[in-house]
Amino acid sequence: MSNKIINNNVLVLNKYWFPVGILSLRHAFCKLFNERVRALNHNDYNLYDFGKWLGISDNKLSYLRASTSMVPIPEIVVSSFYDRVPKLYIHSSRSNILKRDRYVCQYSGRRLEPSEATVDHVIPKSKGGKYNWINCVTSSFSINNEKSDSYLEDTDLRLIRKPISPKNKLLFSLPSDFSLPESWKEFLFKNYTKSGK
């Protein structure tokens, strides 16, 4: 297996087909082999155990070259037993706030290099402002220094958008350059829209 293939992500659905996590391809194959999950063929929505998955023939699937055969690559697996919907919490760390704001200064609208990006407390820390999703934004060092510990209304600065907590935490946990497979969209967007998360 090449590293590119091994590092692929596989969407995990609980046994009621609600998205609950993401696994590496290697981990997904281990769970498939141990019968903890079944592979979902996203072209016809049939489920397969490990043995049947290895024998599947579908020219719409991607395949991995093994030593003696071609192995289909699952994009989605369904848990055999897990029926819960976990509450996913994403910490409002510096890196996550910068990721949420896509390294765009929330005062100037300018895209920042990682080295010039910092996190600003909209309500200053010295005035009781918390370090959380709704009070922290990406800012350039120069603007952050200019604002210092002033309230926003006491400056000429204005936010380009109101800071929010990420709505789809499962998607937010993926790398920002991750290309979302079409097969995932049916489950991620439909389920998250219906649940209002």
Tokens at 156, concatenated: 């000429």
What pLDDT, on a 0 to 100 scale, did the predictor assign at position 59?
A: 87
| More confidently predicted of 109 and 185 | 109
With contact defined as beta carbons under 8 Å apart, do 106 and 36 qualify? Answer: no
What pLDDT, on a 0 to 100 scale, did the predictor assign at position 191?
A: 52
What pLDDT, on a 0 to 100 scale, did the predictor assign at position 192?
A: 47
pLDDT digits (tens, 9 = 90+) for 155-170: 999 999 999 998 777 8
What pLDDT, on a 0 to 100 scale, did the predictor assign at position 7?
A: 53
The residue with tokens 């790398």 is 175
What pLDDT, on a 0 to 100 scale, did the predictor assign at position 190?
A: 66
Find the mean pLDDT for residues 40-49: 95
With contact defined as beta carbons under 8 Å apart, do 80 and 35 qualify? Answer: yes
CA distance 182 to 22: 15
CA distance 122 to 119: 9
Does the pLDDT value for residue 1 go beyond 50? no
With contact defined as beta carbons under 8 Å apart, do 98 and 138 qualify? Answer: yes
Does the pLDDT value for residue 194 go beyond 60? no
Domains of the chain: 3-86 (no CATH), 94-154 (1.10.30.50)
Find the mean pLDDT for residues 54-77: 90
| More confidently predicted of 68 and 100 | 100
Tokens at 98, concatenated: 């910068």
- Report the SS3 class of residue 69: coil
What pLDDT, on a 0 to 100 scale, did the predictor assign at position 179?
A: 82
CA distance 65 to 50: 16
